[in-house]
């Protein structure tokens, strides 16, 4: 059976403006690779309700899992939860179990949740909460959409809580061969190898580390025997073009 697939929807004007560098897609890609979920698309959208709803419709119909980051905080532009509710056609309100998590986290700090903080307890009807051991404010899953915070430490905590319960597959291994020649010298034989081995993916990445310029070829796949054969062939190619 093929691995489950995934897309990521990154929500936030601050990402598109360049004010904030996204770290969550990088982390998610590594974690999904390790459990055999193939990340196929990362889409970045602004804090715009209709744009978010449209993206959710497109992504959740095309992939096994959709992971979102950003837009579930306490401020006016945190509209991800409302957009998810609209995309699924369900209601949204402060939920008792989410409120309790916020109250417990606030009590540990010696405070009580403000009305603004209680916005983070607004959960679409029918959703399952995603635990957050960092700040207490939960994420949630609705259908195949998993809604998480944009703050990297909180995103990672939510993902750690979520991943063990998801449908997964066969972890994809990655191996590489370093060529001390340019990509054009490798392109022909690499194309032939990739065409003969469609079950694997091949990537060609130029590098320069001071005096040496070359190409690193990365091979990815789930079949160890095919990977071994591909690496052996790449070593032959490396000797031939050196």
pLDDT value of residue 103: 94
Q: What is the dihedral of CA 199, 62, 66, 218, to 10 degrees?
A: 20
pLDDT surpassing 90 at residue 120: yes
CA 235 – CA 242 distance, rounded (Å): 11
Q: What is the pLDDT of residues 222-237, one digit of tens each?
A: 999 999 999 999 999 9
What is the model's pLDDT at position 43? 98
- Give the pLDDT score at 140: 98
Q: How far apart are CA 142 and CA 88, in angstroms?
A: 8
Q: Encoding tokens for residue 50?
A: 């209709």
Give percent of the chain with pLDDT exceeding 70. Answer: 100
> Looking at the predicted structure, is the pLDDT value of residue 156 above 90?
yes
pLDDT of residue 209: 83
| Tens digits of residue pLDDT in 32-60 | 999 999 999 999 999 999 999 999 999 99
> Residue 60: its pLDDT value, please?
97
Residue range 123-142, pLDDT digits in tens: 999 999 999 999 899 999 99
- Which domains, ranges and CATH numbers included, belong to the chain? 5-165 (3.40.980.10), 173-241 (3.30.310.50)
Residue 167: per-residue pLDDT: 87
pTM of the complete model beyond 0.85: yes
- pLDDT value of position 179: 96
Q: Does the CA dihedral 2-56-14-124 come out positive or negative?
A: negative
Contacts of 147 (CB under 8 A, 6+ apart): 68, 72, 80, 81, 84, 127, 130, 139, 140, 141
Provide mean pLDDT across the span 141-152.
Answer: 97
Per-residue model confidence as pLDDT tens digits over 75-100: 988 999 999 999 999 999 999 999 99
Q: Which residues, including other chains, have CB under 8 Å from residue 151's CB and lie 6 or more apart?
A: 134, 135
Classified as helix, coil or strand, 41 is strand
Could you report the per-residue pLDDT of 182-219, keeping only the tens digit for each?
A: 999 999 999 999 999 999 999 999 999 888 899 999 99
């Amino acid at each position: 059976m093929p691995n489950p697939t995934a897309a990521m929807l990154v929500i936030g004007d601050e990402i598109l403006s360049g004010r904030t560098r996204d770290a969550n897609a990088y982390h998610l890609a590594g974690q999904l690779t390790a459990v055999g979920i193939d990340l196929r698309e990362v889409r970045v959208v602004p804090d715009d309700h209709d744009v978010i709803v449209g993206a959710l419709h497109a992504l959740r119909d095309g992939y096994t899992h959709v992971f979102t980051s950003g837009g579930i905080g306490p401020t006016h532009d945190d509209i991800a939860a409302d957009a998810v509710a609209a995309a699924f056609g369900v209601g949204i309100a402060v939920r008792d179990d989410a409120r309790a998590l916020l109250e417990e986290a606030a009590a540990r700090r010696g405070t009580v949740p403000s009305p603004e903080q209680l916005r983070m307890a607004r959960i679409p009807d029918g959703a399952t909460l995603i635990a957050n051991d960092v700040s207490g404010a939960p994420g949630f899953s609705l259908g195949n959409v998993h809604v998480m915070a944009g703050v990297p430490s909180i995103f990672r905590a939510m993902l750690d809580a979520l991943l063990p319960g998801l449908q997964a597959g066969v972890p994809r291994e990655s191996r590489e061969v370093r060529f001390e020649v340019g990509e054009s010298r490798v392109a022909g034989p690499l194309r032939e190898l990739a065409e003969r081995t469609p079950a694997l993916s091949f990537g060609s990445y130029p590098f320069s580390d001071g005096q040496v310029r070359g190409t690193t070829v990365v091979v990815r796949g789930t079949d160890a025997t095919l990977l071994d054969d591909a690496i052996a062939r790449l070593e032959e190619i490396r000797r031939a073009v050196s």
